Amino acid sequence: MDYKKPHKRYRTPRKPTGIKDKTGDLKPAQVSANLEDNVRAIQNTFKDSLDFIVRRISFGPAGKVRMALVFLETLTDKQSFSDFVLEPLNRLSFCEAEATKIPGRIIDILPSALKVEEEADWEQLEKKIVTGHGVLFIDRYDRAVVLEARKWSERSISEPQSEAVVVGPREGFVESLITNVSLMRRRLRTPNLVMEAIPVGTTSNTNVVVCYLKGVADAQLVKQVRERIAKINVEAMHDINLINELISDVKFTPFRPFSSTERPDKLAAALVEGRVGLIAENSPMALIIPTVFWQFFQSSEDYYEHYPLSALSRTLRMLAFFLVVGLTALYVAIVTFHQEMVPTQLILTMAAVREPVPFPTVVEALILEIILEALREAGLRLPKPAGQAVSIVGALVMGQAAVEASLVSPQLVIVVALGGIASFIIPDYSFVIALRILKFLFILLAGSFGMFGLIVGYVVLGVHLSSLQSFGVPYLSPVTPFKWKDMKDIFFRAPWWAMGKKGPQRAGGGEGA
């Protein structure tokens, strides 16, 4: 066959065109039929990258059939290219090469072990290279061959750090998107599990995967999630939690509109209930959409323990909410405005202890709470062994020193410590951060207006929570608006035999979601 005769996969070269990138450099818009033009352009793009590799290949007398394989060695498996691309091409004899000079024939001989596709758009090729693909340019062929052989170092699957359990699975999400997708596939072995990838970030091009069960999740909900993610306009998306603020219904609130999780089993349970999950590259977390208030009090362990134990644990978490937000504020209100609520002997003891303290109770409480928050943050930021020592020893030493120096009263130290312990009972760390912010507001209200200010604070908090929505679902659903059939898993977990076919309907799941 004449080498110059057009083939169905050998296209007429397009007229060279160019576009400017963000740096102002001119680059082609389409792949050229001239191999040297393509190599020169791709080398100009990655000229400052030490991991960029160009491997030239040629066949026939004087190298008439010429190709160039380009890739980033830090993101690709060089052994796969050697075994499945270079070796098959190098084994071609001269006579065989004469019979396979048409580019389409060369593509056909590549083994099926690698995913092979063709691409002509230059920007798409650059994105393929930086996501771990190899690109094969063929002389006199105006389309490049994209070879998928991605490989990079990644963290192995381990137990989630923020959602550890005594009973239940110990696997957690990692930063590898493919690994996270496989964890979900292992738990929901159905073709109805849909995983749609949407690139986010004009520079990072981070893939965000929308997960849902076809036929279970509401089609309108899936459409809204897909549209809001597609409208995100940011330079880079480094973690899935950035999406929390970008696609939420309400912009000004201390509460997170969507819950996040490191546990594949928790996300799988949410998908079975009709929710939508979001997983992103380089993030060990997943988002659950929609989310309601009661979801933050639920732990995966609730569904693996016997239901009376789960009911007790959840009751403690609900009580911890009021302790974190209002315990210190209640103490301030009673000591400052409502001493008659305390037994006479106790109030006299408290007054005697507080006599040398130079600060009002509200200032005293704020000082202790700020010290507690500082110790908590120091324990998180320091290396793990040092962090534990700072948080424990620092609290004991500083608390004892503050009492002996008559800067604070011992009763208030006990109250603040109880509130700090209660904050560790609630399983969702980000939710506790919102409660810690509200705690200071309630202390100021109680110090200014007493019990009246405390009651007003709770009323305003309830109104605010009632006004929030998560993708159209009321934040306090199913309590308000009330839905009796969805109350089986709110304040208590009902027995499994009472849950129905799908098992637990977590915090407004099922039709409520």
pLDDT tens digit sequence for 466-489? 999 888 889 998 888 888 888 888
Whether the link from the prior residue into 264 is cis, omega within 30° of 0, is no
What is the per-residue pLDDT for 99?
A: 43
CA distance 142 to 6: 12
CA distance 310 to 296: 15
Number of Cα atoms under 13 Å in the Cβ half of residue 400: 5
Instruction: Judge contact between 175 and 154, C-beta under 8 A.
Output: yes
Angle at 498 between CA 492 and CA 503, to 5 degrees: 85
Q: Stretch 377-399: mean pLDDT, rounded?
A: 69
CA distance 290 to 393: 41
CA distance 143 to 137: 7
Q: Is the pLDDT of residue 22 over 70?
A: no
What is the per-residue pLDDT for 277?
A: 94
Q: Is the pLDDT of residue 204 over 50?
A: yes
What is the per-residue pLDDT for 390?
A: 66
What is the per-residue pLDDT for 238?
A: 85
Q: Is the pLDDT of residue 209 over 80?
A: yes
What is the per-residue pLDDT for 95?
A: 52
Q: Stretch 114-130: mean pLDDT, rounded?
A: 84
By three-state DSSP, how is residue 72 classified?
A: strand
CA distance 81 to 71: 10
By CB atoms closer than 10 A (0-12, 13-18, 19+), residue 255 is buried
CA distance 106 to 86: 12
What is the per-residue pLDDT for 404?
A: 75
CA distance 142 to 34: 8
Q: Is the pLDDT of residue 357 over 50?
A: yes
Give the start-end residues of each E strand in 229-387. Answer: 259-261, 276-280, 286-289
What is the per-residue pLDDT for 6?
A: 42
Region of poorest pLDDT, from 402-406, 463-467, 505-509? 505-509
Q: What are 135's strand-pairing partners?
A: 70, 146
Which of 122, 125, 141, 143 is CA-nearest to residue 133?
Answer: 125
Which of 296, 318, 308, 304 is CA-nearest to residue 427?
Answer: 296
What is the per-residue pLDDT for 444?
A: 95
Instruction: Indicate the average pLDDT of the chain.
Output: 82
Region of poorest pLDDT, from 46-50, 178-182, 360-364? 46-50
Region of poorest pLDDT, from 135-149, 386-400, 402-416, 478-492? 386-400
Number of Cα atoms under 13 Å in the Cβ half of residue 241: 9
Amino acid residing at 139: D
Angle at 142 between CA 141 and CA 148, to 5 degrees: 90
Which range is most confident: 342-346, 380-384, 415-419?
415-419
Q: Stretch 110-129: mean pLDDT, rounded?
A: 80
For 59-114, how does the pLDDT look when each residue is reduced to its tens digit (9 = 90+)? 665 556 788 889 888 888 877 777 777 777 766 655 544 544 556 666 666 666 56
What is the per-residue pLDDT for 142?
A: 84
Q: Stretch 261-288: mean pLDDT, rounded?
A: 92
Instruction: Judge contact between 147 and 81, C-beta under 8 A.
Output: yes
Q: Is the pLDDT of residue 50 over 90?
A: no
Q: Stretch 349-358: mean pLDDT, rounded?
A: 80
What is the per-residue pLDDT for 164?
A: 79
Q: What is the DSSP letter of 76?
A: B
Q: What percent of the chain has pLDDT over 90?
A: 26
The band of 21, judged by pLDDT with boundaries at 50, 70 and 90, is low
Q: Is the pLDDT of residue 382 over 50?
A: yes
Q: What are phi and psi of 452, to 5 degrees?
A: -60, -45
- 390 CA to centre of own chain: 29
Q: Stretch 37-55: mean pLDDT, rounded?
A: 87
Q: Is the pLDDT of residue 176 over 80?
A: yes
The band of 377, judged by pLDDT with boundaries at 50, 70 and 90, is confident
The band of 388, judged by pLDDT with boundaries at 50, 70 and 90, is low
Which range is most confident: 23-32, 146-155, 204-213?
204-213
What is the per-residue pLDDT for 4?
A: 43
Task: Provide the 10 A C-beta neighbour count for residue 166.
Answer: 7
Strand order in the sheet with 276-280: 193-200, 206-213, 276-280, 286-289, 259-261
Q: Is the pLDDT of residue 179 over 70?
A: yes
Instruction: Judge contact between 432 and 426, C-beta under 8 A.
Output: yes
Higher model confidence: residue 23 or residue 322?
322
Q: Stretch 421-431: mean pLDDT, rounded?
A: 89
Q: What is the DSSP letter of 131?
A: T
Task: Provide the 10 A C-beta neighbour count for residue 178.
Answer: 11
